[in-house]
Amino acid sequence: MIFRAFVVLLSSIFFAGCASTTLAPETSSGIQQGKVATAAYTVDKTIHYEEMVYKVLYNETRTQQAVFEDFWDIDKAHTDLLTLALTNLDLDASPSSAALSEETQAQLEKNIKLSLETAREGEPEPFKLENTTRSNLVDAGYDYLVLLQTSNIMVKTTSMIDSATIWLPSSLIVLDLEENRQAYNEAFIIQSLASYEESVRELEDNNLALIREATQKQLAEGLEKRMADILAIETTR
């Protein structure tokens, strides 16, 4: 489909509940001196569309869903951005996949998925790694694990305008691997705005080009702006 949709990139990264929440001083010191593994995982590789249709006497909400797993390796893309944000703070950071076998990396992803499902059921617990995954990372010299956990991609629009809000509901988690202890877990929601001509599904054209551009840019900017504060790292920037 040929169209002239364009993306308006917003400075609207939300860090719900963490305006003043940062790592404890001892953890911040440890993460600056130690080795950090990174991982980003989107649990549901789906785009959930929600359109509010205005009627004369009432409003109607229409929903659609699309699977994008075969078109975009979102986990690698987001892991790379997360790793870059940490290395830009002079941290010794690298993807967990560099140290874990495919089987153990899959176990980590299963661990993340289970944690999100538990939270959805209203019974959130501190994130903990399965013992094999944790011991493998510790044996590889890692001291901490920084996770970006995302549920899916949500797109919201209305019948009155030809633009949509793109949401990635996410959490940023920091684990102390030696103690298998959650040191940080806060909402990290990425939001951007995309415009289209006729159908919101145009956002999927060209292998999700518009969605990828908007979310990648917003995530990169959000990590750059907030990661130092979250990790309690002083910078001269």
Residue 115: pLDDT over 50: yes
> Per the domain annotation, does 2 fall within a domain?
no
Distance separating the N- and C-terminal Cα atoms of the chain: 43
> Per the domain annotation, does 212 fall within a domain?
yes
Burial class (CB in 10 A: 0-12, 13-18, 19+), 231: buried
> Per the domain annotation, does 1 fall within a domain?
no
Short-list 144, 184, 147, 186, CA closest to 30: 144
| Secondary structure class of 195 (helix, strand, coil) | strand
**Tens-place pLDDT, residues 203-217:** 888 888 888 988 899
CA–CA dist 21, 230 (Å, integer): 7
> Per the domain annotation, does 237 fall within a domain?
no
> Per the domain annotation, does 235 fall within a domain?
no
CA–CA dist 25, 36 (Å, integer): 17
Residue 134: pLDDT over 90: yes
> Per the domain annotation, does 105 fall within a domain?
yes
| Tally of structural domains, the chain | 1
Instruction: Please answer whether residues 152 and 43 qualify as being in contact, where contact means their C-beta atoms are separated by less than 8 angstroms.
Output: yes
- Over residues 107-118, the mean pLDDT reads 87
**Tens-place pLDDT, residues 83-97:** 999 999 999 999 999
> Per the domain annotation, does 121 fall within a domain?
yes
- Over residues 176-195, the mean pLDDT reads 88
Instruction: Please answer whether residues 146 and 172 qualify as being in contact, where contact means their C-beta atoms are separated by less than 8 angstroms.
Output: yes
